[in-house]
Amino acid sequence: MNRVIESLLSHRTIRAFRPARIDDAQLDAILEAGTRAATSFQPYSFLVIDDPEILEDVAMYNAPIAILVTIDVHRFGRYLELHGASKPTDSPFYLLHAHWDALIALQNVVVAAESLGLGTVFIGRVHSMDLRKPLGLPENVCPAGLVLIGHPTEPSPGRPRYRVPLEAVVHRNRYREPTDEELEAWYGRYKEMFDKHYEALSDEEKEELAAEGIENGLQRFCHLEGTFFREADEATLRNLQHGGFHVADWGTTA
């Protein structure tokens, strides 16, 4: 294949960084690559975070830099206002549309950074982080994605992580329902991993979980995810509201 596909295939998430800062020209090239992703009027902003105090809040690993991408319907909205126009954006369709534009711009940032030998890690919980005050986000701007970038501590980050095989993910013209045997083959290693975590618990912890009907690794994984989502939902809806997406009203208007 070619250098681009090689670079994509060798992606690995990096969570340990050297303190070295990122070259300004490289950072500009990375951000420029971000803005070249396909888009409809760029309804997003990047916030480059290198202030140590803010970094401490947003970064779960000690990277020298974090790049937040936000959905931003404020900037263009202000321009339209200057000319007596206003673009309606409080729409489920437009939320997904703008989210798409923001996230693929951020993916270009990641691909560009990795091609320069930098390491990256996405912080998935960003949708539920309260960044309005620390970053001074105006109304109609809300978090869409967050990545930490830095020089990896180890030059070679090892083999790419497990993915289910291509035939699990790719369908031709119609969705093909997998067999139980296929599912076992694709996901069995996750079960082993979660069972190991479960087995490592103390008897007391296991009894507590059993009281909630949780008796194996996969059940425990589901329980943890569910608890996390429930906690994250309220903050996510608050962020969306601040971003101009009044989700609470969508049930009644549709």
Query: Considering beta carbons, is residue 62 or 182 the nearer one to its own copies?
Result: 182
CA atoms of 149 and 168, how far apart (whole Å):
31
User: Shortest Cβ distance from residue 21 to its own copies (Å)?
Assistant: 14
Whether residue 36 contacts residue 174, with contact meaning beta carbons closer than 8 Å, is answered with no
Whether residue 69 contacts residue 102, with contact meaning beta carbons closer than 8 Å, is answered with yes
Query: Considering beta carbons, is residue 83 or 155 the nearer one to its own copies?
Result: 83
User: Shortest Cβ distance from residue 204 to its own copies (Å)?
Assistant: 22
Query: Considering beta carbons, is residue 19 or 250 the nearer one to its own copies?
Result: 250
User: Shortest Cβ distance from residue 171 to its own copies (Å)?
Assistant: 5
Query: Considering beta carbons, is residue 18 or 182 the nearer one to its own copies?
Result: 182
Query: Considering beta carbons, is residue 60 or 248 the nearer one to its own copies?
Result: 248
User: Shortest Cβ distance from residue 198 to its own copies (Å)?
Assistant: 11
Query: Considering beta carbons, is residue 17 or 44 the nearer one to its own copies?
Result: 44
Tokens representing residue 68 in the block:
């937040």
User: Shortest Cβ distance from residue 246 to its own copies (Å)?
Assistant: 9
Query: Considering beta carbons, is residue 24 or 203 the nearer one to its own copies?
Result: 24
Whether residue 67 contacts residue 49, with contact meaning beta carbons closer than 8 Å, is answered with yes
DSSP per-residue letters across 3-46: HHHHHHHT--B---EESPPPPHHHHHHHHHHHHTS--SS--EEE
Q: Is 130 helix (H, G, I), strand (E, B) or coil?
A: coil
Q: What residue has token string 């290198």? A: 50
Q: Is 247 helix (H, G, I), strand (E, B) or coil?
A: helix
Whether residue 27 contacts residue 34, with contact meaning beta carbons closer than 8 Å, is answered with no
- Give the number of other Cβ atoms within 10 Å of residue 5's Cβ: 9
User: Shortest Cβ distance from residue 60 to its own copies (Å)?
Assistant: 14
User: Shortest Cβ distance from residue 199 to its own copies (Å)?
Assistant: 15
CA atoms of 195 and 191, how far apart (whole Å):
6
